[in-house]
Amino acid sequence: MSEKKKSEAIFTPETLKAAGWKKKKDPVFPFEKKIKNRNPLNNSEDSDIKLVLHSLYNQLQFALLLPDGGMVNLNITSFEDIKAFEDKIDFYDPPF
């Protein structure tokens, strides 16, 4: 079985900004991108989600940040991967 590739620094700040990511002052969450909420029944603020770049585990990693504070960490190996993942997100339907 081959070893799973880890997310690496496969981006530049300029690349992220060009793709709609926003630079934040928070050193732990330096970049984020809000995902348009396309939920036809609940497009309120409480169901907004974001893609983030974070360093909670002492390395930069992409993640999907949910409105309830949950986070799905992603193993992204190319910038095309994160763009493809973003394009596949339809909407988040919160449990409340």
Asked whether residue 62 carries a pLDDT value surpassing 90, the answer given is yes
- Residue 87's φ and ψ, nearest 5 degrees, are -65, -25
Please check whether residue 19 lies inside any domain of the structure.
yes
> CA–CA separation, 35 vs 49, rounded Å?
6
Please check whether residue 57 lies inside any domain of the structure.
yes
- Residue 82's φ and ψ, nearest 5 degrees, are -70, -35
Asked whether residue 24 carries a pLDDT value surpassing 90, the answer given is yes
pLDDT value of residue 6: 54
Q: Averaged over 17-30, what is the pLDDT?
A: 94
DSSP 47: G
Please check whether residue 72 lies inside any domain of the structure.
yes
Closest to 79 (Cα-Cα) out of 13, 24, 35: 13
Asked whether residue 47 carries a pLDDT value surpassing 80, the answer given is no
The mean of the pLDDT values for the chain is 83
Please check whether residue 8 lies inside any domain of the structure.
no
- Lowest mean pLDDT: which of 14-18, 45-49, 70-74? 45-49
- For the chain, what is the domain count? 1
Using alpha carbons only, what angle is made at residue 44 by residues 39 and 50, rounded to the nearest 5 degrees? 75
Domain range holding 77? Answer: 13-88
Asked whether residue 9 carries a pLDDT value surpassing 80, the answer given is no
pTM for this entry? 0.80
> CA–CA separation, 34 vs 66, rounded Å?
11
